[in-house]
Structure 1
Amino acid sequence: MENHFWFDLIFRNRIMDTLSSPIQMLSFLKRAEPESQEISRAAEIWETTLQIVKERIHQKHKRSINATDLLSTDELKMIADMSGCLSHLQPPICPKHCLASKYRTITGACNNRWLPAQYEDGYSQPKSWNPGHLYNGVELPPVREISNKIFRASDNTTSDDNAYTRTIVEWGQYIDHDISFTPQSTSKATFKGGLDCRHTCENLNPCFPIKIPPNDTFSTKKDCLPFYRSSPACGTGEQAVLFETLTVSNQRQQINALTSFIDGSTVYGSTPALENELRNLTSEEGLLNVNTRFSDNGREFLPFVAQVPSPCAQDLGDPDGVRIECFLAGDSRSNEVISLSALHTLWVREHNRIARTLKKLNTHWSAETAYQEARKIVGALHQIITMRDYVPKIIGISAFHHYIGPYGGYDPSINPTVSNVFSTAAFRFGHATIPPVLQRLHHKFQEHKNLSSLSLHEAFFSPWRLIKEGGLDPVIRGLLSKPATLLTPDHIMSKELTEKLFVLSNPGALDLASLNLQRGRDHGLPGYNDWREFCGLHRLETQASLSTVITDLNLVQKIIDAYSHPNNIDVWLGGLVEDTVPGARTGPLFACLIGKQMKNLRDGDRFWWESDNVFTESQRNELAKHSLSHVICDNSGVTEVQTDVFKLGQYPQDFVSCNHIQGLNLEAWQENPNRVGTCNSPPRIKNGNFVLCTMSAQIVVVYSCYFGYKLKGSEEMTCTDSGWSSDPPTCKGKHSPICFFFFYYYYFLFKVLHYFTPIFTPIWNVQLHSLTAATSVNRTEGQWAPSNPTTKPTASLHQELEIRC
């Protein structure tokens, strides 16, 4: 199975040698791994089926009746089961062997909302979905209109942050991608009528287009920009009729396709399939795959994605036309900008450096043990850098002590799930700190004579610039020595983001401010004042009270002119423009929301690095010595850094040699090679590996198979006086779950149509056309290609459908 078969689903017209449009680039960023796509599509199939039933009932009875009034509980469960949703609502099966307490699972399993959503129909429709719907006597202003009135600056000049470097901006984006990712709808056409979302300005699921005001600066002939709703979670929104009456407890919820934990999923992925693709399974050292075509002065680049061509930009000036594809990393957004790609690359190099060293210290370790121990260390370093070095600077020391405080150990009652308001609003504060220019500097931290500075849009989706234009080092030096942007009332966000987002050499652009506001409304986020009340802050019901937290009166007037009433203010905008807390880069609302979330991520994580039995005391002491400065020194050609790379300093007086940067000593992980006692080294197995651990004072070996293989036999062997307790298991191949998914998808449509023929027959052609068009696939030439979009299930289903796996 090709792990990224999403390529053909997202780009319904295949991309050949031309560059993608900005909306296609956004879709590229918002794509999910196959496992997450399966969940998303199951939810959409279930939701759309119930909507069709409801509409058909309304046509027949001329009144609104819930699906439960016609369908029994057993019938609803049958629909949920055939859609695939029911299986995703079951709790995970957690391992009980000794590794369950030694290493976290790649998915984060076995390890929400803080306020109810405010949907216009109570459970699913976004804010501003229905024309004429009033909030405090007025309609909500269109998001692009807000962007034009409040975010637009007269020029592209910015105010520099005199305390922090651009590194702090990139780390915020990078760590956000470690803990949250909300996939957008797997369909690019309306469920009702099959209209392409790129060509309609109607609000029809999953299309929720951004209206463009008259005389807008966007050079487009259309009245809107395409926008796709986030995928719903199974069993929420209209689907919740299966469980109980529609209440705030089961409003439409969105999916986090990541683990939520700070665990280095940006390096390792969040699904077994992607992890398998990222690993070098032929290495005895537990390494990650690297690029086999190019190197960075002897250091590794990230590998390329499998799809050729990929939608990343190309060097149009290359006389040989050598293509540089998108990088493959643990998170699909790694290509968004080359400075983010550089951070991803550093951590892959760091994993491989640590894994090689651990294997040298412990020659008896299996490749799996070296990989898992290196992964565990890298995850811990992500946690340390984030909580010790990053968060206090963002929310301020006072807010850190108030909302987070000292570590008191793992608390199983804490829900570590990333909240909707955190990922959709609060942690997007960083978008206002992104400078419009990316500098590339030489070894003395001056402008590089051969590498000019880049406008931000020139660095979007351009991995070729890292490979062909000097590698990581010039970019890293720019991050270390150049300041972040300071938000000011007259310059909230750079025009590079509001006017040129994802512009390459193609016409059109997107607006990040509009996207953020529209996404908040799509998710039904309560307004600014509701969140202030949630945090114990005063509601600001008048223009005068609003001016107590936003002291620039001109900005306050712009906000009131746009929204008419403070209660209408979108939470992302309101939290973003509050005056910052002393010593922080956020106002009081976002300091609260970020602080609460970070405390939950720490205290609710059984594998937090400071938790008992995760590391030994000597290992914790060594981890605490490490820093992002040392990661940069160990994995790049940069030889001078600040001791704290987030703090802005002057070169050379505030920089030190890498030789003076303290780091962890991996000898704290050295083990006794004779720990297996009377037993020899465990037998190796084909297509799998093993890890040793201790249970009840006995040495136990636990086997596992690589992704795509199933373990046959006992997964554990115990070392006894007479040797290992049993023969090792074997790993047998198994069919791709994605192939089964598509088969059961069509089988589901066939069975539902057959079962509910009186309901569906009059509306089949219109209602379900887009679902079949979006998902009908044949496998050819190792890729997934759209098959005939007009095909529909019939009694001869098995003869008409060809799903070759």
Structure 2
Amino acid sequence: VIADLSGCPSPVHTDVCHHEGFSSKYSSISGVCNNRQKPLWGSANNVLARWLPAEYEDRESQPKGWNSGQLYNGFQLPPVQEVSKKILQSSIKSVTLDDIYSQMLVDWGQYIDHDISFTPQSTSRVAFSGGLDCLKTCEYINPCFPIETVSHDQLSGNRSCVPFFRSSPACFSGNAQATTADIKPALQRQQMNSITSFLDASTVYGHTPNLQSALRDLSSSEGKLAVNSRFMDQRGRSYLPFVLKTPSPCFQDSNHRQGDRVDCFLAGDSRVNEVLPLVALHTLWVREHNRIAEALHDLNPHWSSEIIYQEARKIIGALHQIITTRDYVPKVIGREAFDRYIGPYGGYDPTINPSVSNVFATAAFRFGHATISSVLRRLNESFQEHEQFSSLSLHKTFFSPWRLVKEGGLEPILRGLLGTPAAVVNPDNLLTKELTGRLVTLNVPGDLDLAALNLQRGRDHGLPGYNDWRQFCGLERIWNRDDFRQVANDESVAEKIMDLYKHPDNIDIWLGGLVEEPLPGSRTGPLFSCLIGKQVAMLRDGDRFWWESEGVFTERQRMELQTHSLSCVICDNSEINEAPLDPFVFGRYPDGFRLCSNIPSMSLEAWREEPHPGTLRLFSRLCGVFRNLVVQQMITAR
């Protein structure tokens, strides 16, 4: 009864997971029952894991900075907007470019982040107490936690702020075996992950049965995904379908005419339209699913549409896992950290909780925001500036799927990701002004500051400070300015941070982790390498359907999967004819590029399955019945 009244789901009993629907060889779309003893571990709409207890100002739910005058180690926390302006916002125009990795490394990170975590904001737009509109008030009243932009006006008492909605609280997930010591932390405000934590290509397939159905072409006998019914590229390749409710809020070409409107695209993740590279990667994988589904149908004509869909979905999920752990993660955290925190695969471990942690989703994996370029380059077939479709300032790529349809399709964007060096985290240029001054969302009017939003979100979630997380990872605590200067990537930035925060324990984890000196061969410092490494290990080892897990694929199928790459997916589903073997490694065209025909790819012959003799006999009988009916119709017609 309480569950029904609160809107929270009822507990899932372990008996449910032994039902035929959950004991098959295909994972559930919501992730429920991946672990049969802990059915909700890693599932959608479940609580983000806490690796350290939350730190709220009232010890239950109030964010850091909620109460005016609250002191931390004798000092007030600096306002997040002030931290952004003095530390995070770019002070120089030039960007330090990566001489090793391509822009694809950055955008794959964002894409894969959307496969494993999404923390929803409060669905209410008014305060629970008093009915104040969160878009118009500067008061701290749940769910409103606005970001202060200037100091109090001493004469009028007014202040300026930017709207900020608190993350939705997760449902209480206690159990009958909880001890008294467990109750208090459990009753603290927790946040939820509204999608599955697993690397399962939920970006392609969704995380609920209803969304999964909306994304499928249920009329197809080949188990395909739905595609756009109005637009395709010049070579007849498909685009994503439009959202179900139109007109949608996505931006339009200023010259668009009635009838050629391009609405928001529909995908497995609702953030697909945020920037053009995301739209391109989503589109690429829908095309890849349909390519594989068609090939599986040709190999196994006796398979039903449902089997083809599920087998293609399993292959696409495995490719997401392989590309991420083999090609992406070692470059981000460094090989040494990879070996230390992740290491070789040892099989599925049902005692490991794969749920994404709060600190990973809210801080550590947001390191990538400091590597986002201010410009999206669009390149021609020679990987030079496109003659017809010029490069775009980042803010012009926000929620603009029309550009994909009307400005050259996927190819100029994908070439730009492959043929442009990534930006390197630079303490003097942490976040581009395109993100700190021109960020756009569809639910809050005006330009936003991503740096301030990240810091405010960490405080909203009650994340412990930078030092506590260093200790969690077995790193030495920072005791003074000298200590911080030694671990930071820039002494002057370390000084500015200490001037603002006064005490090292007060430093917000996202900021502290961001300015650490990167480990050798990595793009993150010791703290973020640790947190990302631990999380990826849990995602892998706690997933019963991980591609290497016994019984998920045959040995021959696993060998074929390992030959595939993101470059293969690009080659097979676009008009790009040349690509690097490793799309995350930057090379100046034509150096490092190969013809697509010379890039190894998997053979789907490993999925050929001879039909069971009984199936052949049944098929033969059905053919005989059909033949007799046709003959009878011909006789009757005469």
The TM-score normalised by the length of structure 1 is: 0.72
Q: How many residues align?
A: 599
Q: What is the correspondence of 1:38-49 to structure 2 with a 5 Å cutoff?
A: none
Query: Kindly tell me: are residues 677 and 463 of structure 1, through their superposed partners in 2, closer, same or farther at Cα, counting changes over 3 Å?
Result: closer
State the shift of 1:92 in Å: 8.3
Matched, 1:596 2:519: no
The partner residue of 1:621 within 553, 559, 571 is 559
Query: 2:105 touches 2:584 (CA, 8 Å); kept in 1?
Result: yes
The match for 2:10 is: 87
Q: Counterpart of 1:572 in 2: which secondary structure?
A: helix
Q: CA RMSD in A?
A: 2.3
Instruction: Give the letter aligned to residue 347 of structure 1.
Output: W
Per-residue deviation, residues 391-431 of structure 1 (Å, max 9, x unmatched): 00000000000000000111111110000000000000000
The match for 1:463 is: 401
Matched, 1:328 2:266: yes
Query: 1:236 touches 1:253 (CA, 8 Å); kept in 2?
Result: no
Instruction: Give the letter aligned to residue 97 of structure 1.
Output: E
Matched, 1:212 2:135: no
Instruction: Give the letter aligned to residue 58 of structure 2.
Output: D
Cα distance in 2, alignment partners of residues 683 and 197 from structure 1: 67
Query: 1:156 touches 1:436 (CA, 8 Å); kept in 2?
Result: no
Instruction: Give the letter aligned to residue 302 of structure 2.
Output: H
Instruction: Give the letter aligned to residue 161 of structure 1.
Output: D
State the shift of 1:494 in Å: 0.4
Query: Kindly tell me: are residues 553 and 322 of structure 1, through their superposed partners in 2, closer, same or farther at Cα, counting changes over 3 Å?
Result: same
Matched, 1:577 2:515: yes
Instruction: Give the letter aligned to residue 551 of structure 2.
Output: N
The match for 2:26 is: 103
Matched, 1:293 2:234: no
Q: What is the correspondence of 1:521-670 to structure 2 with a 5 Å cutoff?
A: 521-670=459-608
Cα distance in 2, alignment partners of residues 461 and 658 from structure 1: 31
State the shift of 1:85 in Å: 3.0
Instruction: Give the letter aligned to residue 133 of structure 2.
Output: D
Instruction: Give the letter aligned to residue 271 of structure 1.
Output: T
Per-residue deviation, residues 658-677 of structure 1 (Å, max 9, x unmatched): 00011110010000123545
Matched, 1:247 2:170: no
Q: What is the correspondence of 1:410-489 to structure 2 with a 5 Å cutoff?
A: 410-489=348-427
Query: 2:148 touches 2:159 (CA, 8 Å); kept in 1?
Result: no
Cα distance in 2, alignment partners of residues 558 and 683 from structure 1: 81
State the shift of 1:373 in Å: 0.2
State the shift of 1:449 in Å: 1.1
Cα distance in 1, alignment partners of residues 512 and 72 from structure 2: 16
Cα distance in 2, alignment partners of residues 243 and 189 from structure 1: 35
Matched, 1:302 2:302: no
Q: Counterpart of 2:618 in 1: which secondary structure?
A: coil
Instruction: Give the letter aligned to residue 532 of structure 1.
Output: R
**5+ long unaligned stretches in structure 1:** 1-77, 685-805
Q: What is the correspondence of 1:254-269 to structure 2 with a 5 Å cutoff?
A: 254-269=191-206
Query: 1:433 touches 1:485 (CA, 8 Å); kept in 2?
Result: yes
Matched, 1:391 2:329: yes
Cα distance in 2, alignment partners of residues 117 and 660 from structure 1: 52
Matched, 1:339 2:274: no
The partner residue of 1:408 within 300, 321, 346 is 346
Instruction: Give the letter aligned to residue 414 of structure 1.
Output: I
Per-residue deviation, residues 5-29 of structure 1 (Å, max 9, x unmatched): xxxxxxxxxxxxxxxxxxxxxxxxx
Per-residue deviation, residues 752-773 of structure 1 (Å, max 9, x unmatched): xxxxxxxxxxxxxxxxxxxxxx
Query: Kindly tell me: are residues 321 and 372 of structure 1, through their superposed partners in 2, closer, same or farther at Cα, counting changes over 3 Å?
Result: closer
State the shift of 1:541 in Å: 1.6
Q: Counterpart of 1:87 in 2: which secondary structure?
A: coil
Query: 1:294 touches 1:467 (CA, 8 Å); kept in 2?
Result: yes
Q: Counterpart of 1:624 in 2: which secondary structure?
A: helix
Matched, 1:508 2:446: yes
State the shift of 1:242 in Å: 13
The match for 2:38 is: none
The match for 1:230 is: 167
Cα distance in 1, alignment partners of residues 621 and 422 from structure 2: 53
Query: 1:441 touches 1:474 (CA, 8 Å); kept in 2?
Result: yes
The match for 1:276 is: 213
The partner residue of 2:318 within 380, 395, 398 is 380
Query: 1:364 touches 1:673 (CA, 8 Å); kept in 2?
Result: yes
The partner residue of 1:348 within 281, 286, 289 is 286
Query: 2:22 touches 2:33 (CA, 8 Å); kept in 1?
Result: no
Cα distance in 2, alignment partners of residues 681 and 257 from structure 1: 44
Query: Kindly tell me: are residues 499 and 156 of structure 1, through their superposed partners in 2, closer, same or farther at Cα, counting changes over 3 Å?
Result: farther
Matched, 1:150 2:87: yes
Per-residue deviation, residues 132-173 of structure 1 (Å, max 9, x unmatched): 111011111111110001012234431111111110111100
Cα distance in 2, alignment partners of residues 384 and 550 from structure 1: 32
Q: What is the correspondence of 1:7-18 to structure 2 with a 5 Å cutoff?
A: none
Cα distance in 1, alignment partners of residues 620 and 107 from structure 2: 43
Give structure 1 regions of 4+ aligned residues with deviation exceeding 6 angstroms: 89-92, 241-245
Cα distance in 2, alignment partners of residues 657 and 561 from structure 1: 54
The match for 2:134 is: 197
Query: 1:426 touches 1:575 (CA, 8 Å); kept in 2?
Result: yes
The match for 2:636 is: none
State the shift of 1:260 in Å: 0.3
Instruction: Give the letter aligned to residue 102 of structure 1.
Output: K
Query: 1:445 touches 1:478 (CA, 8 Å); kept in 2?
Result: yes
Q: Could you tell which deviates more after superposition, 443-452 or 154-163? A: 154-163
Identity rate of aligned residues, in percent? 61
The match for 1:139 is: 76
Query: Kindly tell me: are residues 682 and 100 of structure 1, through their superposed partners in 2, closer, same or farther at Cα, counting changes over 3 Å?
Result: farther
Q: Could you tell which deviates more after superposition, 294-303 or 311-320? A: 311-320
Instruction: Give the letter aligned to residue 109 of structure 1.
Output: V
**5+ long unaligned stretches in structure 2:** 35-48, 623-638
Cα distance in 2, alignment partners of residues 420 and 370 from structure 1: 36
Cα distance in 2, alignment partners of residues 180 and 627 from structure 1: 23
